[in-house]
């Protein structure tokens, strides 16, 4: 078992658990990760997902021994399988927070970038070191990284293969926040609980508006926003939320 899933009060924590290999990804781990993501997506009791790693690493890339003797065809299949697995996190209707506890290299940075929000421990290290192994990023790094930090910084990371500490990652816009290692999970769980306390449909449609809107020109994106705004008002969430605010009580959400 390479993936552990625990849930409580609407929040699930998915932990990558292969510490003896710094949580490096292999085929079995990706298969288990896919299965777990599907489980989370189908569980209505889970409103927010937090992803983290065991030990010194978040995910220290893919298993190099596994890739060493790939043929061109095998490399393409591995890349597509990894892209699809990482993409499952990005496409989840529920918010996903990456709690980056340590080394997030190669596929680790790529998986973190597929999450909605990234919080880094002050011990976290990021990088796309694939060129130092004679290959390129294959799980989405060449595409998501420039979208997050801009093409210039992305090319620097992808061309040099250098490592970047948590503060450098924060300054370039790769992570939302840096906290001490001792505070990391408490900070992420507190954020997850605050998200889970909001309107269920409102949070889901906010994610949809941002993700899909980025693929459109501004005029079409604004039309999407108005359409989704109307969808929320086809449910009782706005009435309950506004009523709770006016009555100075906690809202009781029923829609999903």
Packing angle of the helix pair 27-42, 72-91 (nearest 10 deg) = 20
Q: Is 151 helix (H, G, I), strand (E, B) or coil?
A: helix
Annotation says 208 is catalytic: no
Catalytic choice (8, 41, 130, 171):
130
DSSP state of 20: G
Annotation says 41 is catalytic: no
Catalytic choice (41, 110, 171, 250):
110
| Cα first-last separation, the chain | 31
**Distance between CA atoms of 78 and 89, rounded to whole angstroms?**
17
**Distance between CA atoms of 16 and 24, rounded to whole angstroms?**
9
**Distance between CA atoms of 184 and 143, rounded to whole angstroms?**
27
DSSP state of 115: S
**Distance between CA atoms of 95 and 51, rounded to whole angstroms?**
11
Residues with a catalytic annotation lie at: 110, 130
């Amino acid at each position: 078992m390479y993936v552990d899933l625990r849930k409580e009060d609407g929040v699930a924590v998915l932990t990558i658990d292969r510490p003896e290999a710094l949580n490096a990804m292999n085929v079995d781990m990706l298969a288990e990760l896919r299965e777990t993501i599907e489980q989370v997506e189908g569980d209505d009791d889970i409103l927010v997902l937090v992803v983290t790693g065991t030990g010194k690493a978040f995910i220290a890339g893919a298993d190099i021994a596994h890739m060493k003797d790939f043929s061109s065809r095998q490399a393409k299949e591995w890349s597509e399988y990894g892209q699809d697995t990482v993409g499952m996190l990005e496409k989840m209707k529920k918010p996903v927070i990456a709690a980056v506890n340590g080394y997030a290299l190669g596929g680790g940075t790529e998986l973190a970038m597929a999450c909605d929000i990234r919080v880094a421990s002050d011990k976290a290290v990021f990088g796309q070191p694939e060129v130092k192994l004679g290959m390129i990023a294959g799980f989405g790094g060449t595409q998501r990284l420039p979208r997050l930090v801009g093409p210039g910084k992305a090319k620097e990371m992808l061309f040099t293969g250098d490592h970047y500490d948590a503060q450098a990652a924060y300054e370039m816009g790769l992570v939302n926040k840096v906290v001490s290692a001792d505070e990391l999970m408490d900070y992420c769980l507190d954020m997850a609980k605050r998200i889970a306390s909001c309107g269920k449909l409102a949070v889901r449609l906010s994610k949809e508006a941002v993700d899909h809107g980025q693929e459109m020109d501004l005029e079409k994106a604004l039309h999407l926003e108005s359409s989704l705004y109307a969808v929320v008002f086809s449910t009782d969430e706005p009435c309950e939320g506004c009523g709770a605010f006016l009555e100075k009580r906690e809202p009781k959400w029923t829609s999903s």
